[in-house]
Amino acid sequence: MKKSLFTLHEQAAAKARAQARRDRMNVLKENFVGNHALKKYLSKNLYTNIFAKKWFQATAVVTVFLVTGIAVNEPLRNDLLRQINLVDEFNTASGDVLDLNQSGESGMRPVIFSYPGNRNNAKLSLIEPSVQHLPVPSIAPLANQISNGKIDPLALDSRLLDSALNQAKIANLMAEKYKVDVNTLKSYISHAVIVGKEVSIDPVLIIAVMAIESNFKASVQSPAGAQGLMQVMTSVHANKFIPYGGIAAAFKPEANIRVGAYILKYLIAQAGSLSGGLRYYVGASSAGDGGYAAKVMTERNFLTSYLGGSNLQDNNDIESADSNKTQQNQSQQGLLKFLGVNLTDS
């Protein structure tokens, strides 16, 4: 009798454990697969199978889908991260643009170097650390559409500004040379270092362009309408400022440097050389840029030498090197479509 009761008890316990497992599985299916963010990206048939008898087979497919999607699909990654509350600290709200005047409130998910998805970059050393915590969308998703294989190696990161010590040296040097507040320069240089990583362009080059274009005056505007530190033509590139709140953000360093650096990378790829890209950047489609490319390269080489690096190219060789690299026929229509105006506009 005791043995019979014990057997019944064991059977009841086994049934209870089995039911508990089924309940947990159902909760998992409802919470995991029922998530609207995942449903949006799954095919209807696969989504149906997950709730049918093919749950385990479908789970394997979903796992592969998630790993691949999280790696290469930024919208999916953003949606999933929101759903598991990894970005709650940014307090993202509904909307399509980011208002840089309202800290902590944005319509787009900020891509910040301290964000969990960018742990490798979280170790970035900056002279002005607060810059990397600004809730500003990264330009990397746009810049990454341009293969680094199309970029002149001379434009790639020299890594001379990976240390805060070298950043401080440049800040003090340029503050004295251009009569700008050193703390302001620290902020600009920190922005340049971060943006350099986002677009895979040498931050020393970005700093040299800022120096020649605006003398580090963030509020300057040229007679032609070029604005901000990188002197971006907002009438041509207004769409690129949409994530940052519109063209008014052209006078904000965190937006202007990002858009300007992206445009520079694009034009370097179009021209096939660094000096050719600099000519396009100033609005010259061929030789005759008023010495602009030489000025930028001179400034960059000056900064590189000051930090103990090697000059990447002699200024006297800019014209000859560029002519050899750009004799091939360029796709002017594609460039005009990107710029939106004649190449003679600055």
| pLDDT recorded at residue 76 | 56
Cα 297 → chain centroid: 24
pLDDT tens per residue across span 241-295: 999 999 999 999 999 999 999 999 999 999 999 999 999 999 876 657 889 999 9
Residues of the chain with pLDDT under 50: 2, 84-121, 314-331, 341, 343-346
Of 57, 212, 185, which Cα lies nearest the Cα of 131?
A: 185
Token pair 């991260």: residue: 81
In this structure, what token pair is assigned to residue 92? 């993202």
| pLDDT recorded at residue 190 | 96
| pLDDT recorded at residue 284 | 75
| pLDDT recorded at residue 22 | 79
| pLDDT recorded at residue 14 | 78
| pLDDT recorded at residue 4 | 61
pTM assigned to the model: 0.61
The residue type at 330:
Q
pLDDT > 70 in the chain, percent: 59
- If you write DSSP's letter for every residue of 64-77 in order, what string do you get? HHHHHHHHH-HHHH
3-class SS of residue 106: strand
